[in-house]
Amino acid sequence: MDSPIDGSIVLFGPPGAGKGTQAGRIVELTGKPAVSTGDMLRAAVVACTDLGMSAKKYMDAGELVPDEVIIGLIAERLEEEDAARGVLFDGYPRTIAQAESLENVAKVSNVISIEVPDEEIIERIVGRRMDPETGDIYHIKFKPGADEIQSRLIQRKDDNESTVRNRLAAYHNQTAPLAEWYEERGLLSRVNGNRSIKDVGDDIASKLST
């Protein structure tokens, strides 16, 4: 396989599509660090940077942090040594406006969209169960767990069908225009996420190679 292309990578997909697993594989493949805007915000607040203090005012008020603050944090992150060949953006940008702002500070070379049918996502999430003693995640169909732990497995309150459908609707409303925007620029690669972890990962790897 050829070397991964230079530039930053954007990864998005619906909740439950397996982005976390595939993000880890992309980091291993490319050597690009994963960037979480949430993590950056929390770190900036703890470090009491100018941008962190600005963000804290909005966070304390329960308001969304403005895009210009997020972009400022991203610009600072891209100046670090490990980001010399770009980073992996997981879950950002979410809107066309954010993508346009991101263009000012980062070269995006590839956008990966992991696509899974809504009904499959609902089955994945609604069937999840957690062991409160270990934190391990199981699934009533795909990974039921041993008989002796069944009585203590619990379902998260937001892992119900109504909540999942609302999250999916919000995701599609935000992401459909963004996917088209990147597709028009020749950057979008759509990946069928309704397969094994290995098959999805191999497909992504092929799309990240020159």
Residue 173, C-beta contacts closer than 8 angstroms, at least 6 positions apart: none
pLDDT score recorded for residue 5: 47
Regions in the chain scoring below 70 on pLDDT: 1-6, 210
- Lookup: tokens for 209: 């190679």
What is the spatial order of strands in the sheet that 108-115 belongs to? 34-35, 88-90, 8-12, 108-115, 188-192
Query: Which neighbouring-strand residues pair with 112?
Result: 11, 189
pLDDT in tens, 4-20: 446 999 999 998 899 98
End-to-end CA distance of the chain: 9
Q: What is the pLDDT of residue 6?
A: 65
**What token pair was written down for 207?**
């799309």
Instruction: Please give the positions annotated as active site.
Output: 19, 94, 128, 156, 167
Distances (CA, A) of 90 to 3, 6, 125, 193: 21, 17, 19, 16
pLDDT at residue 4, as a whole number = 42
